[in-house]
Structure 1
Amino acid sequence: MKERILKTADRLFYLEGIRAIGVDTIAAEIGISKRTLYNHFPSKDALIAAYLERRFVQPPPSAPAPSAQTAVAQILATFDSLERRFAAKDFRGCPFVNAVAEVGNHDRAVKKIAIAFKESRRVWFRERLNELGVAEADALATQLVLLVDGSIAQDLVRDDPAMARAAKEAAKVLLRNAGVDVGGDAKPMASDKGTSQ
């Protein structure tokens, strides 16, 4: 029952908004009483936190699965995954950003989970960049995360999956500037010494 409640809350919170959906709506959707819901989640705030934690442990749609791909290919595949996600009819942006925007900064649990999620994405980029031997991996990881979040915001406003492609091209520029060979379409730089992959 707890998983049914979470699945229903996930769908409704993400598609309709946290503030728009009350526990009454979630309980009615499942066919249970509010009391049954509260037996599993003592408050709406607890349900919101559980919804976000559930999203956090599941790999985000934009995160490529572990593979034998090179670190560069994995980084760039992130933007390909984003483009596919943007094209889906049910895409409503980042659930963590949405939650912070809706409940505000006063909800420390929501803010903490959102920060942890965003940091996990940044750390993932940094690990790939470290594999490539990038000198300023931490700073570049932050820049790549900004491209991800910026493309999400642009897609929401424009409803244009090509925003992910534009972010991918910008990521290639950043990677090349860091001395990374991004593949066959890379424009060699005069001082490019190449980086082992």
Structure 2
Amino acid sequence: MTERILATADRLFYQQGIRAVGVDTIAAEAGISKRSLYDTFPSKDLLVAAYLRGRILPFPDSAENPMAQVLALFDQLQARLAAGGFRGCPFVNAVTELARDCEAARAIALRYKEDRRLHIRALLAQAGASEPDRLASQIALLLEGAIASMLVREDPSVAVQARDAAVVLMRAANVG
């Protein structure tokens, strides 16, 4: 039942927004009673936290060189943007919607973003970047910028443009 609730919450929260979707709707769409939902997730905040944790995917193991792995993040983003139904980053959306009402959501979002930046940093350090921390922050900003730009422009090529900018940054840092 937990998986069914989370799958329903994931779909509805991402498509319609966290505030727009009530627990009554989630319970009805999941085919369970509201009581069963609250037995599994005693509050909507706990359900939101579980939804966000479920959105965190491990970084794939790769035999590719570190620079190629960094650039693959942009390729993966471009594929997600081109697939349709893109409504932005679920972590940013949650923080934006909930403001300070759900500190758990903010903490999960922050941890996710920092883990991604640290992953990029580790790859850049492997590739010999002289300032991997600074470069990782810049590349993470390019990813974030592509996501925000896609929401406004509705043009998946923004990920390709961000990738091109990442190449310029990495070359300037003598990476690759």
Tell me the TM-score normalized by structure 1: 0.87
Greater relative contact order (CA < 8 Å, ≥ 6 in sequence):
2
Pairing partner for 1:123 from 118, 125, 147: 118
Q: Who is 2:50 aligned against?
A: 50
CA distance in 2, matches of 1:30, 1:52: 18
Q: How far did 1:135 drift?
A: 1.1
For the aligned residue pairs, the C-alpha RMSD in angstroms reads: 1.0
Q: Who is 2:83 aligned against?
A: 88
Q: Which amino acid aligns with 1:126?
A: R
Tell whether 2:136 aligns with 1:141: yes
In the TM superposition, structure 1's runs of 4+ consecutive aligned residues that sit over 6 Å from their partners are none
CA distance in 1, matches of 2:101, 2:19: 15
Q: Which amino acid aligns with 1:139?
A: R
Q: Who is 2:102 aligned against?
A: 107
Q: How far did 1:105 drift?
A: 2.5
Identity over aligned residues, as a percent? 57
The farther-off stretch of 163-172 and 105-114 is 105-114
Q: Who is 2:168 aligned against?
A: 173
Where structure 1 has 5 or more consecutive residues not aligned to the other structure, the ranges are 182-197
CA distance in 1, matches of 2:41, 2:127: 44
Largest Rg, 1 or 2: 1
CA distance in 2, matches of 1:150, 1:121: 15
Q: Which amino acid aligns with 1:142?
A: S
CA distance in 2, matches of 1:119, 1:89: 26
Q: Which amino acid aligns with 2:35?
A: R
Query: Secondary structure of 2:13's match?
Result: helix
Equivalent residue runs for 1:141-160 within 5 Å: 141-160=136-155
Q: Which amino acid aligns with 1:4?
A: R
